[in-house]
Structure 1
Amino acid sequence: MTEAVFFGGHDAVLCDLDGVVYAGTEAIDGAVPTLRELGRRGVPVVYVTNNASRSPESVADHLLGFGLEVTGDQVFGSAAAGVALLNQELSRTATDPSADGASSGVRPVPARVLVVGSDYLCGLVSGAGHEVVTTAAERPDAVIQGFDPSVSWTDLAQASYAVNGGARWIATNTDLTIPRAEGISPGNGALIEAVSRATGTRPLAAGKPEPVLFRLAAQAVGARNPLVVGDRLDTDILGGNRAGFDTALVLTGVDTEANAAAAPADHQPTWTIPSLRMLLADSTVEARSREAQEEPQP
């Protein structure tokens, strides 16, 4: 366990990126100085992102452009988690003839995989030993879908044809929106909805709010009491809560204080804070805790 502690005794930050550190090409006010100061104090900071379009090294370079010294091993993304889930599902199908999609015969891994997403995601799938295909006519065993700005109607149509044909469907993440400098834009979840409506089914999802990314990130820095920080209740906060960690919703991205107050219990953050700057404050004095919000009023 790390010895440096902050913000009520936590020993690491598991930090989201979009809507927390930056919005599009612009750093969010105060985020970079706060993260630098946490580093100066010896608090480990790792980044847990549902962005499946870029490699950890590319994300680290992006953060370096904002003045943050980050390496690829500090970045945990949903693309790698998605490929791990893909491998798990294909292996399960290969060993279980009763699994969905196996009625025409068991196909062992490696398999044919239709990738809807970035070149980086294609590379991960290929690196796992699978054959990457681009059309349903190539009879893929599985579809993996991750965000990329270049995803087209044709890509979504091919995914729909493949899923309707029995291919297993994996999503790297299901974020409906992405904060950009210009405003809120459609995310991978919005594109997944198009395929879902065309197929009448839902994918297995690998990224947040599943707890595995948070637990892997905490283990990587030896943290026992990390704080999960994010701007989305349905991914960052729900996922951190599922992992058993304290959570902080920052109001610089998608969700608002009103959203948090109205959210179901498993979506509610331990703290709601205006921005990352509050992580340098005394949480018992300046931050609003869940317990304080829920205290009965006289």
Structure 2
Amino acid sequence: MSDSACSLIERYDLLLLDLDGVVYRGPEAVPGAPDQLLRARDAGAELLFVTNNAARTPEQVAQHLTELGIVTGAGDVVTSAQAAAGLLAARLPAGAPVFLLGGEGLRAACLEVGLTPVTDPDAAPQAVVSGFGPQMPWQRAIDGAILINAGLPWVAANTDGSFPTERGLAPGHGALVELLSRFTGVTPSVAGKPDRPLFDEALRRFPGARALMIGDRLDTDIAGARAAGLDSLLVLTGVDDLDAVAAAPQSQRPTFVGTDLGALFEPVPHREGDQAPARLGALASEGRGTVAP
């Protein structure tokens, strides 16, 4: 075993950041997150915002982050909608119509890769693509279910069961995926976390970087990082807590656990071969919770 006491921001030069529950909750920033991310940039880290939310375009996400004080360009945002559209573009001819079960983020991602998003089931779609779209009419879900049941291939942006809001947890796109799967008996190809396509899309932008995935969900952010061979930091500002970490299977164990993004700057020994995540900052000093080995 080898020990070192440098901070995470000294070990990693690329931070892959989940958004909901890590950087913001709904329209509001997680307390302290903007200042901590600006500090990370000042220390030389690249920030890449990696989100399973397929409803908004990268431009809209970047604008929201900029309004929160984190100046961000669309190229610094990677969405599950982009990963889903990329999967379909690799399988379908240029310009192919795809039936859209989602919002503007998914529509824009399809156009970006040369596909034609349609909402008319009689427009001869060659596939169905789905993602979070809170304004989507129920009739479109019915039409999509009929198309999937008839044999069209289906790509889902993600399978998140919930997402945090300022008023509490809300049902995510996974609820629709479960409904469609139950009706059709079909399991979709999934682009977002914890599956690889979203991570592959992100890492292509910074080849060779030492990347750390930061998230608030064990079953998506952390499981996805492990599957992609990345170290991870779970922050306790969103969905999962220390009790969830203690009960998590090995496939969902983070490398590090911290109260919030301030954990990036705390010195921490990293003992190679340890099975339990290292607890950082206030968690270590206060001894809160138990993490099983």
- Structure 1 residues 136-156: Cα deviation after superposition (integer angstroms, max 9, x where no partner): 344422110011110232121
Cα distance 1:259–1:73, how it changes in 2: closer, same or farther (>3 A)? same
User: Is residue 168 from structure 1 mapped to residue 170 from structure 2 by the alignment?
Assistant: no
Report the residue type matching 1:201 in the other structure.
V
Q: In 2, distance between residues paired with 1:57 and 1:131?
A: 20
Deviation at 1:54, TM superposition (A): 1.5
Deviation at 1:67, TM superposition (A): 0.4
In structure 1, the partner of 2:265 is: 280
Deviation at 1:284, TM superposition (A): 2.3
Q: In 1, distance between residues paired with 2:189 and 2:170?
A: 23
Q: In 1, distance between residues paired with 2:99 and 2:212?
A: 36
Q: In 2, distance between residues paired with 1:220 and 1:115?
A: 27
Q: In 2, distance between residues paired with 1:132 and 1:72?
A: 21
SS of 1:290 mapped into structure 2:
coil
Alignment of 1:68-217 (within 5 A): 68-90=70-92, 110-217=95-202
In structure 2, the partner of 1:33 is: 35
In structure 1, the partner of 2:68 is: 66
Name which of 47, 50, 59 aligns with 1:48: 50
User: Number of aligned pairs?
Assistant: 273
State the identity as a percent: 39
Gaps of 5+ in 2: 1-6, 279-290
SS of 1:76 mapped into structure 2:
strand
Q: In 1, distance between residues paired with 2:74 and 2:116?
A: 26
Report the residue type matching 2:255 in the other structure.
T
Report the residue type matching 1:182 in the other structure.
R
Cα distance 1:202–1:59, how it changes in 2: closer, same or farther (>3 A)? same
**Maintained 8 Å contact 1:272/1:289:** no
**Maintained 8 Å contact 1:7/1:283:** no
Alignment of 1:7-22 (within 5 A): 7=9, 9-22=11-24
TM-score by length of 2: 0.86
Cα distance 1:124–1:222, how it changes in 2: closer, same or farther (>3 A)? closer
TM-score by length of 1: 0.84
Report the residue type matching 2:41 in the other structure.
G
Runs of 4+ in structure 1 off by over 4 angstroms are 291-295
Q: In 2, distance between residues paired with 1:129 and 1:62?
A: 26
Cα distance 1:269–1:127, how it changes in 2: closer, same or farther (>3 A)? closer
**Maintained 8 Å contact 2:58/2:78:** yes
- Structure 1 residues 230-274: Cα deviation after superposition (integer angstroms, max 9, x where no partner): 011111101111111111111111112111211111111111211
**Maintained 8 Å contact 2:89/2:115:** no
Q: In 2, distance between residues paired with 1:174 and 1:166?
A: 20
User: Is residue 290 from structure 1 mapped to residue 276 from structure 2 by the alignment?
Assistant: yes
Q: In 2, distance between residues paired with 1:71 and 1:223?
A: 22
SS of 2:11 mapped into structure 1:
coil
Cα distance 1:165–1:19, how it changes in 2: closer, same or farther (>3 A)? same
SS of 2:238 mapped into structure 1:
coil
Deviation at 1:59, TM superposition (A): 0.8
Q: In 2, distance between residues paired with 1:281 and 1:36?
A: 16
Deviation at 1:222, TM superposition (A): 4.5
Structure 1 range deviating more: 49-58 or 276-285: 276-285
SS of 1:282 mapped into structure 2:
coil
